[in-house]
Amino acid sequence: MPQVRIIAKNFMDMVASLPAMKLDKLYENAFICEAILRSLPPLAKKYVLQLLYIDVPVAASSLQEWVLADGASKHRVAVDRLIQLRVFTEFVDRKKETTYLLNPMFQRNLQEHIVHGGVLPREPMAANITVRLPSLEELDIYAAQQWECFLLHLISSAEAEVTTKSISPSMMKVFQRGLLSQIDKEGPRLTESGFQFLLMDTNAQLWYIIREYISNSEDRGVDSADLISFLLELSFHVTGEAYNVNTLSDIQRTTVKDLADLGLIKLQQGRKDSWFIPTKLATNLSISLSDATSRKQGYVVVETNFRLYAYSTSKLHCEILKLFARIEYQLPNLIVGSITKENLYKAFSNGITSDQAISFLQQNAHPRVAERVPSVPENVTDQIRLWESDLNRVEMTPAHFFDDFPSREVFEAACDFAREYSSLLWEDPKKMRLIVKTEIYGHMKDFLSHQK
């Protein structure tokens, strides 16, 4: 299986990678235009806004005039991004002058938005029909629980209680692909990327899952562009408001069920209608929030004696901590463990780096210790780094070994030749043997054959 390093690629990268036809079709939806605009780098946003009411191609030079010298790289990034997303179309005329034209569809939608203000994708249901709507806090808790349950299900199907009802086993397989690997009959094991996945924050994890979900959509007979537009549209709904399920198409209804399992939305059933309530996970979908707005409260306290106390009732947290600590006691609301060399060696061999482990401990530090600097004691972080460097004491270099030189002259010349390329790793003048790096093996052979 190819080793794919998990990068929390965001939604828009995926949109950008869509074929041109589909992309143009996506821009027919005003919400997509809005979401795309919001995802752009600040400078690119400015360019779009500036050109919003200009229908003729604009010379690249006149855009660049706005930028100071040290912003040139930012300018290039912005323009590349705009072209990549087909928001800008690039023309080069006969005088070799580059001009840009804003995508007319995109332009029209945004103009409309600016004149009429934002509109909601669909009207929320009246409060008298929807009884007992959850409060925002309840909704957040629900979303977190549902997501955790899903993760637990993902990493060890046996551990999870049967709360995730409808995610089909085949769907689960899709998500697990790349995260778990089945070796012989020993039951699934987390792969390197699986471990890294668990240490990412919720938003990054969500990206990964949603990405898999979208890229797999064609197999389920759902057009990926439709799915993307629905997901983006979903992010413009208001958190905590109820929306009638009847306003959705059939495909969207099945999607909504899947998303409910992930905790993106909550489904409720009334006497006559049923409705869905988007949670914060769904409304944050289109903005890639990497900063602390989404950060949950931490729960881990690490002491200088390598003891680790995690105030958590969650099984998932326990599973994650098990990755690099020995769990000693498990009390109703507290997990006590210790960070040991053996556990960390195991983690390192699973592909977790010391920085990942440390940043996990720091990010999830209990509020009481989070105020302290550093939140994880320095001796612990240093030791974790030292343990990692212990494993890297030997450096491997592919090399070739030469011996049986016909004469000392040839041997000396060969040594000098290798030195010139700074590829001589070892020499033994007495027995006339030497070792060189693999890169110059070819040159070395040529050189020696000329010597003869």
Partner 1 sequence: MTPVSSKQYADDVSLLMVLIDTNPLFWSSSAAPLSFSKFLSQVLSFLNSILLLNQLNQVMVIATGLNSCDYIYDSSKGPTSQRVESLLQKLEEFVVKDEELNKDDSVDGIGSSLLSGSLSMALCSIQRIFRSGSLHPQPRILCMHGSQDGPGQYVAIMNSIFSAQRSMVPIDSCVIGSQHSAFLQQASYITGGVYLKPQHLDGLFQYLTTVFATDLHSRSFLQLPKPVGVDFRASCFCHKNTIDMGYICSVCLSIFCKHHKKCSTCGSAFGQPQTVSTSNQKRKAP
Smallest distance, Å, CB 348 to partner 1?
31
Residue 420 contacts residue 386 (beta carbons within 8 Å): no
Smallest distance, Å, CB 208 to partner 1?
21
Task: List binders of partner 1 among 235-274 (CB under 8 A).
Answer: 238
In 187-233, the DSSP E strands lie at: 188-190
Size of the site for partner 1 (CB under 8 A): 33
Question: What is the pattern of x (binds partner 1, CB under 8 A) and - over residues 52-91?
Answer: xx-----------xxxx-xx--x-----------------
Smallest distance, Å, CB 162 to partner 1?
36
Residue 438 is given by DSSP the state G
In 227-365, the DSSP E strands lie at: 243-244, 265-269, 274-278, 300-302, 307-310, 326-331, 334-338
Residue 105 contacts residue 24 (beta carbons within 8 Å): yes
d(CA 385, CA 344): 10
Q: Is residue 140 close enough to count as binding partner 1 by CB under 8 A?
A: no
Task: Give residue for tokens 């086993």.
Answer: 169
- Which position among 9, 25, 46, 400 is part of the footprint of partner 1 (CB under 8 A)? 46
Task: List binders of partner 1 among 95-124 (CB under 8 A).
Answer: 110, 113-115, 117-120
Nearer to partner 1, 129 or 289 (CB): 289
d(CA 10, CA 348): 27
SS3 label, residue 29: coil
Smallest distance, Å, CB 114 to partner 1?
5
Smallest distance, Å, CB 297 to partner 1?
12
Task: List binders of partner 1 among 289-318 (CB under 8 A).
Answer: 290-293
Nearer to partner 1, 61 or 290 (CB): 290
Task: List binders of partner 1 among 4-43 (CB under 8 A).
Answer: 34, 37-38, 42-43
Question: What is the pattern of x (binds partner 1, CB under 8 A) and - over residues 200-239?
Answer: --------------------------------------x-
Residue 133 is given by DSSP the state P
Smallest distance, Å, CB 340 to partner 1?
34
| Cβ-based neighbour number of residue 32 at 10 Å | 23
C-alpha distances in angstroms, 121 versus 16, 124, 129?
Answer: 23, 9, 20
The burial class, CB within 10 Å (0-12 / 13-18 / 19+), for 45 is middle
Residues that bind partner 1 (CB under 8 A): 34, 37-38, 42-43, 45-46, 49-50, 52-53, 65-68, 70-71, 74, 110, 113-115, 117-120, 238, 286-287, 290-293
